[in-house]
Amino acid sequence: MPLLKIDDLEIEVKNGTTVLEAALENGIDIPYYCYHPALEIVGSCRMCLVQVEGMPKLQVSCNTFVGEVPPERKVDGNFDMVVQTQNDLVIQERKNILEFLLLNHPLDCPVCDQAGECYLQDYSFKFGNAHSRFDEDKRVRPNEYLGSQIVINHNRCILCSRCTRFTREISGTSELFVDERGYSSKIAALEDRPLNNLLAGNVADICPVGALLSTDYVHKNRIWNLQKKSSVCQDCSVGCNIDAFYQKRKIFRLNPRENQDVNGYFMCDIGRYGFHRFEDLERVTRPLFKSNGIFSEISWDTAIEKIGDKFNGAEEKVAGVLSPFHTNETNFMLGRFIKGIIGTFPHIEDEEITYPSGFRISSDRSPNKRGMHDVCPSIVDDLASEINDKEIRVIYILDNEIDKEIDETWNKILTKMDFIVVQAYAMTRLAKSAHLILPGLAPFEREGTITNDQGRVQWLRSVLPNNGESRPDWEILNLLYKTGERFSDINELMKGMGEQFPSYSGMTFFKLGDQGLPLNGNLKT
Amino acid sequence: MNAFKPVLTEHIHQKDCHTLPFYKSVGGYKALEKVLAMQPDAVIQEVKESNLRGRGGAGFSTGVKWGFIPKDSDQPKYLINNADESEPGTFKDRLLMNKTPHQMLEGMIIASYAINCNTAFIYIRGEFYKEYQLLKKTLAEAYQANLLGQGIFGSDYNLEVVIHRGAGAYICGEETGLIESLEGKRGWPRIKPPFPAIEGYLHCPTVVNNVETLACLPHIINHGADWFKSIGSEKGPGPRLFCVSGTVNNPGVFEEPMGISLKELIFDRAGGIPENKQLKAVFPGGSSSAILTAEEALDVKMDFEDLVEKKSMLGSAGVIVMDETVDMVQACLNIARFYAHESCGQCTPCREGTAWLVKMLTRIVNGQGKPDDIDMLYEITDNIGGRIDFSKGSFGKTICPFGEAVAWPVRSFVEKFENEFRSYIQQVEAVA
């Protein structure tokens, strides 16, 4: 392997690694704008210039490849390449490039959404000049909509061309291009093809400055007010890794988080903006019992007692409705508890989309169908007819996708039931049909594991705090067990689940980490 | 020197010199016949030995460039004839295409054969519409005579030639910008490596040669590398078309051996300066070469080495002459404006810097200059194109040499005619 000396660091790198990659992997900060690991290298921002021994000009580190050289060409008889990233020449050049980039920049950080996570701001602070030497008029252009949810502030744009490369290489939709030339260059969308593809939101993420903005987030908050938690998108069976940005009980933004085994660097707009549908729901935060058609609040103890009254002695006649929207743990708990039959509402399929880059939006818009089946193997194919055949009169239901769960058939089934328990976080149509509602957690409050359609188990982390007396869904089901049979915490539960389903054995949140693990036995190692 | 007989332009004044019958009557396509009997490697060797250096501007050895084409690659190879002549003050390729298109075409076929290419392109400047029409006829004649197409001259060598018109961007004369444009993309030069010889047109090995370079090839084959080397300067030999324009009595294209003195070119061939005015400055190699003062100009030989010694370059050999009446600050603005307009906008220093220069120079010309502006002009040009250090090579800071092409001439104006810039600025101070 080639030996690279970068500043004082001597490292062996893979043949063909770029200097920039090697530096970033080893904690050396080389500033860059146009480079993005998922996109073609263009080397146009000139920000990542470094000095390479033996080369007369500074070289862009994003396009300088380290390879093995013959012994007689090794530097100091030892190194295949020697690079300086911090010397005066390099630092001065960064200053120069930043000066150019800021000439026409409006310096409107106080009202810019990117402020606080802006590479132009950060590098200017680190390397730039305190004062501008530019005495001329700035180039000023009005903002424009590139698509229904993406706005461009041309004045902040540094023309790194990441966004145009994204639509060409990742989404393959090619809506964006650089219009005009030279100093007049600007990012534009084709007149007859606005930026409305389902990956459009990513361009705002990859924009290194505050030029491309998602209308969903613009001027809503400041990044330093928000807290961030890593989690997993729950809007299809791909399970894109995300970072959720929230303040108190409100999510403001979801961003994709890198996971090369799942989503690469990106996510789709279905998942990105999907969190809004949980926002204006009427929440259920206490156990509710319906009498004479009216719900009234009861205590947890009373609620559990009522379930005992209905279930005890009739266990074989109770049906459980699992949910592909819930975690493995919750489904496992219900599947294990129900002695009658278990199944699900009819599955809703949507359009499957695969982009040229391989990025996929699954037709299965639930996050955990695979996991649910893994930990509840006795799921029946057609729950509706089984319920009729077996004359089931008591049913325990986990909430599903809001207001999409029950069709005509199920409406009829539910009206025939003597007792319906729904574990739900909101007063949905389904919840309203219940005799007893047990307040569980909303999707962004849940914690547990989910398994994507490729068999990768991922850690769904809770982002928002619980509401009122609502409890984690697995814990509610835990209460249904006799005292001695309960799990003391979710880790015990996972252990128990692993004992019953060996492909899940040995799984802990710690092991899954923020990247998850494939099934097929790897969890044990 | 006076004994020099034009090589490339020998017949341009004769009737029908652009036709195939005429070209054949003066020995045309004899070189091709000879080449087809040679091994491609032998052709490359001959051209290498002739020390032919590219006539487009960079002056890179043509044979060496061909030698970079991988021999073991089974990808198709491409030759592109760069006829996008756009450098201000340069109009030699246009003449060659107008008068002796078959000479250029024969060169193309020879080059294509040498690099084992079966599809070649002529990328012609969009504005050269008449030449485009003429070249279409030239190609038709060549196909008819089996100089192109399948089994050329009864050999088993095939070659198709396609003409592609540019859309009017200067930057598409830069070879990778040209390739992008030819692929139907925006004319943004590519980052190197990979170089076109490895990954060019459609990611295949590609050679881009200038019209005049290609026109030299039949003569090298006919008369041999030694003959070629015997013409003009040793390190960059051969005949060269010098385009002389500006304030001269007899502007035009003059074919002379490499190394002719600039003085002779201006005062003899181009007939000197009208009304016996004083020479003030000269661009020796198109407007992207650093300008020479009269003193420097009268003491320079027009070859690669001597001009580099004068911290300029031979470039496209477009000689632009300026007499004493030329206002150097306005001329500098004119040049800067051209380059700001033509910058592709890809690299930060060039996109932003060229426009900054124009804004600043406009302000100076409009009488609003400031004392600091002179230093700023030095710094900005350095930051775009890098400081010129000829002992270490160029210090360019951009993907393509466009940055240098604007920075060096502008810097040279300020450096060599600083007093004129100062007087513009001092006028302001006097008023204030």
- Contact list, B360 vs chain A (CB under 8 Å): 135-136
Closest CA to A360 of A429, A268, A432: A268
Name which of A100, A133, A159 is nearest B376 (Cβ-Cβ). Answer: A133
Q: Is A110 on the interface with B (CB under 8 A)?
A: no
Q: Tokens 């000439």 map to which residue?
A: A103
pLDDT digits (tens, 9 = 90+) for A65-113: 999 999 999 999 899 999 999 999 999 999 999 999 999 999 999 999 9
Query: What per-residue confidence (pLDDT) applies to A402?
Result: 85
Name which of A57, A101, A183 is nearest B386 (Cβ-Cβ). Answer: A57
Q: Is A151 on the interface with B (CB under 8 A)?
A: no
Query: What per-residue confidence (pLDDT) applies to B389?
Result: 59
Separation between Cα atoms, residue A142 and residue A135, nearest integer Å: 22
Q: What pLDDT band is residue B431 in, cutting at 50, 70 and 90?
A: low
The yes-or-no verdict on residue B432 having pLDDT over 70 is: no
Query: What per-residue confidence (pLDDT) applies to A405?
Result: 72
The yes-or-no verdict on residue B399 having pLDDT over 80 is: yes
CATH class of B20-229: alpha beta
Q: Is A190 on the interface with B (CB under 8 A)?
A: no
Higher confidence at residue A77 or residue B394?
A: A77
Q: Is A140 on the interface with B (CB under 8 A)?
A: no
Q: What pLDDT band is residue A404 in, cutting at 50, 70 and 90?
A: confident
CATH class of B328-431: mainly alpha
What interface predicted TM-score (ipTM) does this complex get?
0.93
Q: How far B360 CA sits from the closest chain A CA (Å)?
A: 7
- Taking the domains of chain A in order of start, what are their residue ranges? 3-96, 133-225, 288-524
Query: What per-residue confidence (pLDDT) applies to B1?
Result: 45
- Taking the domains of chain B in order of start, what are their residue ranges? 20-229, 239-323, 328-431
CATH class of A133-225: alpha beta
Looking at A124-133, A163-172, B38-47, B382-391, which range is the least confident one? B382-391
Q: How far A53 CA sits from the closest chain B CA (Å)?
A: 13
Separation between Cα atoms, residue B111 and residue B77, nearest integer Å: 11
The yes-or-no verdict on residue A356 having pLDDT over 80 is: yes
Name which of B340, B359, B394 is nearest A182 (Cβ-Cβ). Answer: B340
Phi-psi group of A384: left, alpha or beta (phi > 0 → left; psi -120 to 50 → alpha; rest → beta): alpha
Q: Given an 8 Å threshold on Cβ–Cβ distance, is A46 in contact with B359?
A: no
CB B135 within 8 Å of CB B53: no
Query: What per-residue confidence (pLDDT) applies to A348?
Result: 84
The yes-or-no verdict on residue A525 having pLDDT over 70 is: no
CATH class of B239-323: alpha beta
Query: What per-residue confidence (pLDDT) applies to A257?
Result: 98
Cα B66 to chain centroid, rounded: 18
pTM of the model: 0.94
Residues 184-213 in B contacting A (C-alpha not used; CB under 8 Å)? 186, 188, 191, 193
Separation between Cα atoms, residue B284 and residue B313, nearest integer Å: 7
Closest CA to B174 of B343, B419, B366: B343
Architecture of domain A288-524: 3-Layer(aba) Sandwich (3.40)
Query: What per-residue confidence (pLDDT) applies to A366?
Result: 96
Architecture of domain A3-96: Roll (3.10)
CB A205 within 8 Å of CB A113: no
pLDDT digits (tens, 9 = 90+) for B37-79: 999 999 999 999 999 999 998 899 999 999 999 999 999 999 9
pLDDT digits (tens, 9 = 90+) for A278-311: 999 999 999 999 999 999 999 999 999 999 999 9
CB B277 within 8 Å of CB B323: yes
Q: What pLDDT band is residue A447 in, cutting at 50, 70 and 90?
A: very high
pLDDT digits (tens, 9 = 90+) for B342-390: 999 999 999 999 999 999 999 999 999 999 999 999 999 999 987 655 5
